């Protein structure tokens, strides 16, 4: 049986400490005889409502494959950890290899930012690129005009031979 656990860590804890805490939890899970199928860090995100007078939190996802005892152990561990503000463990029947929708949106946003930075070239580079494109177009036009002229000459030569 697969279990999906999402937990929110206090935003006052750094990302590195959140990763360390998650690593400790993963070690406990593996020692209990289960395996981690998927692990995602969703980043520091705003909360839907304030928890412990906090408006943000570090979100993490763990998907485990193991017995129900392991799920109870995860819940117990997260309940006792003061750094964890909220958690939810659910059982799932079907496992997906794809990243979660939240992680996909985050990756897409990162890719969009990367595209924007490449589009925001300095004006000089844009001008150089445009002038290069115009030069290439002019060269292509000259070549096509030469080809047309050569074909016209060939036709006149053929007519003269007839």
pLDDT in tens, 127-141: 565 566 666 665 656
The set of long-range contacts for 18-24, using a CB threshold of 8 Å and a minimum separation of 24, is 18/58, 18/60, 18/83, 21/81, 21/83, 22/60, 22/62
pLDDT tens-digit map of 24-72? 999 999 999 999 999 999 999 999 999 999 999 999 999 999 898 999 9
Residue 78, in any domain of the structure = yes
- Structural domain span for residue 23: 2-95
Same domain, 89 and 154: no
Q: What's the gap between Cα 141 and its chain centre?
A: 43
Instruction: Return the CATH number at 80.
Output: 3.30.70.60
Mean pLDDT of the residues in the chain:
82
Question: Domain ends where: 70, 95, 120?
Answer: 95
């Amino acid at each position: 049986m697969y279990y999906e656990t999402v937990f929110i860590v206090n935003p006052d804890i750094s990302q590195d400490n959140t990763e360390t805490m998650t690593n400790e939890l993963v070690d406990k899970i593996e020692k209990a005889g289960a395996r981690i199928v998927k692990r995602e860090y969703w980043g520091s995100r705003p909360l839907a409502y304030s928890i412990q007078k906090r408006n943000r939190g570090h979100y993490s996802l763990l998907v485990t494959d193991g017995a129900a005892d392991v799920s109870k152990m995860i819940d117990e561990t997260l309940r006792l950890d003061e750094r964890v503000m909220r958690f939810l463990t659910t059982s799932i029947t079907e496992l997906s290899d794809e990243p979660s929708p939240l992680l996909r949106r985050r990756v897409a946003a990162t890719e969009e930012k990367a595209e924007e930075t490449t589009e925001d070239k300095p004006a000089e580079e844009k001008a150089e690129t445009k002038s290069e494109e115009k030069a290439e177009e002019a060269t292509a036009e000259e070549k096509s005009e030469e080809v047309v002229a050569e074909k016209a000459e060939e036709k006149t030569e053929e007519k003269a031979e007839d």
